[in-house]
Amino acid sequence: MESHPWYQYYDYNVPTTIRYPRIPVQNLMHFAASQFPTKTAVDVMGEKMTFAELRSQILRLANALVRMGVKKGDRIGIALPNCPEYIISYHAALSVGAMVVNLNPLYTHGELKFMMENTGIETLITSDDVFPMMQVLAGELRIPRLMICGSNFKGYPEEGIYSLAEVVENCRDTKIPAVMISHADPALIQFTGGTTGHPKGAVLTHASLVAAAYQISLWFNPLVAYIRHELRSTLLVIPLFHIYGNLCMHWSMVNAATQVLLPRFELDEIIETIARYDQISFFPSVPTMITAVINHPRAEEIAEGLRYFHSGAAPMPTELIARVRNLGINFGEGWAMSETAGAGVCNPLLANKVGSIGIPLMDNDIRLVDIDQGIDEVKRGEPGEILIKGPTVMQGYWNNPEETTKQLRDGWLCTGDIAQQDADGYLYIVDRKKDMIIAGGFNIYPREVDEVLYQHPQVREAITVGIPDPYRGETVKAFVSLVPGAMVTDKEIIAFCKQKLAPYKVPKQVEFRESLPKSAVGKLLRKILRDEEMAKK
C-alpha cells in the first residue's frame, strides 16, 4: 500500500489485481455471442445485427481469408469508418492469426503510403468512398488483395479487387480457423506520432489488448453493477481505428454491450440516437463532443438516457465537468496512449477528483522522473515525466528498433507527458509531450505540419504551434517566413496543406513574419512563439 497509495481510493468493488485470461482477443467476441446470441451486437442507424449474426459473418470472412492465402503473421490494413464491416474485418483478421494495421481513411495518399509500406500490408480492406486513392496505393505497393465495402463492387471484374459482402456471401464455412494463436502473439499495429516526423507503429499483443479490456471493464464495476447485461450499450462515435475506440469495442465484447455506431460526429444524429435508446450505458468521447452535446437545446431531455460520459485524449475543463454532473450524468476521465493499448490511468467512478486524470489502473505502475535526465524520481508534488509499466504496454515499435530502445527501458515506457502526483497518488497533467497539439481529441505533431509547409516553394521557414481554442481545446497555427520577393496569402498556404494533410492537421491560422526566432546555434524556437500566443489569452 505504501508504494501504491492509490489502492485505497479504488472503488469498493474494483480489484487491485486481475488474473487475465490467456486468450486471443477475438475470444471475447465468441464468449459474448455464446451467452447472448440473440441480443443486438451492432446498431447502425437502426439497422441491427445480433451477436450470433456478427459471429457468423466474422467466421465466414476469416475462412475466406484462409482460402485466399492469408497466413499467420500477415498484416491486414483496415481503413474504414465506424461500421459493422470494421468489427467483422478486425475480428476475422485476428482469427486467422494476422495482425491488424489500423488506418484512418481520411489520411492523405502520402500518410497512408508510409504506413502501408512500413508494415508490408498484403490485404487492404476499405470503403467505396475512398476507393480511387486506395486503388492507386494498392497498385503502387503491389498489395495483392483489396476488399471494398459498398454495393457497387459486387461482381467487380478487376483481378485482386473484391467486394467484401460478396466474399462473405460466397463462404458458408463458420468453423473457427484451425490456426494456433497464443496470447503472446502480436495482434495490432497502432500508429502514433513520431519525433522524426514519421508515425511509429506500436505493436500490441493479444495479451495487451485483453488486459486493457479487463482493466477498463472491472474499473467500471460500480456502473455496470446497476445495468443488466441485456441493457448494456456503448455509443461509439470515437473512431474504431483509434486506440480509444478499439478499447471501447473490446469493452463492449467483455460486457456483451450493443455497439451503437456512428461513422462521424454529427450533433443532431447523436442526439436522435441517444433519444432512441432507453439508455446509453457508456459514451466514450472527447471534450469537444461533450461540449456540443451539453450545449444542445435537447441536452436536459436526453440526459436521463446517458449513464456515463468518459472523456479522454484531451484535458477536460473543470467548468464543463460541473455542467455534465449538474445534468445528472456520471463522468470520468483518464489518460492513456496507443503504446498502452488505450488503458493507463483513470479516475475512479466514486472517488473522482476533478481536474485529475486519476490513478493507475490495476497492475499498472507509475513513476515520475526528472524531465531532463529521465532517471531520478521527483519528489511528490513536483512535475516529472510519466513512466508506466504494466500488462498493457506495447511490445515495441514495428520495424523501428531505435525508437523502441529509446521509449522502452526495462519494461518502463517513457511517455514524454509531464504530470504531478498528489499525496493520494492522483495524477495531474501539467504539460504534454514536448510539442504535441491536441485538437478535438486528435494528436497532431507540429513537425509533420512543418514539413508540409516547407514543401511550399514560397516558404523559407515555418513553425507550427498549438494555440488555445474554446471548442477544440487547441487549434493549429503556423508561423511562416517567406523567401525574398514571394507573394502568397494565408488562404493559399492553407489550401496547399489541405492537399497533403488530414483535415484536422491543417493550420487554421497562418501568420507571416520577416524572420522566426532562433537560438544561438540557429535552431528554430517553437517555445517562444507558443509563449507569445499564450500571453495573448
- Confirm whether pTM is higher than 0.85: no
Given pLDDT bands bounded at 50, 70 and 90, which one contains residue 515?
confident
Q: Tell me the backbone φ, ψ of residue 117, rounded to 5 degrees.
A: -70, -40
Of 481 and 526, the one with more pLDDT: 481
Minimum mean pLDDT among 6-15, 157-166, 189-198, 436-445: which range?
A: 189-198
Write b or e for each residue in 331-346: b if 16 or more Cβ atoms lie within 10 A of its Cβ, otherwise e: bbbbbbbbbbbbbbbb
Q: Nearest 5 degrees, angle CA 484-CA 486-CA 488?
A: 145
| Locus of grid cell 444524429 | 269
**Contact by Cβ (8 Å): 459, 483:** yes
Please classify residue 379 by burial: count the beta carbons closer than 10 Å to its beta carbon, then call 0-12 exposed, 13-18 middle and 19+ buried: exposed
Given pLDDT bands bounded at 50, 70 and 90, which one contains residue 1?
low
Q: What is the pLDDT of residue 301?
A: 87
Average of per-residue pLDDT values in the chain: 90
Given pLDDT bands bounded at 50, 70 and 90, which one contains residue 34?
very high
For each of the domains in the chain, give its residue range(s) and CATH number, in order of start. 5-20+205-431 (3.40.50.12780), 52-181 (3.40.50.980), 437-536 (3.30.300.30)
* pLDDT single digits (tens) 41-85: 999 988 999 999 999 999 999 999 999 999 999 999 999 999 999
Q: Nearest 5 degrees, angle CA 411-CA 416-CA 422?
A: 90
Beta strand pairing status for 145-149 and 186-192?
A: unpaired
Q: What is the pLDDT of residue 395?
A: 96
Given pLDDT bands bounded at 50, 70 and 90, which one contains residue 123?
very high
pLDDT higher than 70, residue 519: no
**Contact by Cβ (8 Å): 261, 80:** no
d(CA 351, CA 131): 48
Of 115 and 351, the one with more pLDDT: 115
Given pLDDT bands bounded at 50, 70 and 90, which one contains residue 196?
very low
Q: What is the pLDDT of residue 162?
A: 93
Q: Which of 192, 155, 171 is nearest to 66 (CA)?
A: 171
Q: What is the pLDDT of residue 522?
A: 45
Q: What is the pLDDT of residue 449?
A: 87
Q: What is the pLDDT of residue 169?
A: 94
Q: What is the largest CA-CA distance in the chain?
A: 71
Q: What is the pLDDT of residue 431?
A: 58
* pLDDT single digits (tens) 283-292: 998 877 887 8
* pLDDT single digits (tens) 149-185: 987 777 677 888 999 999 999 999 999 999 999 999 9
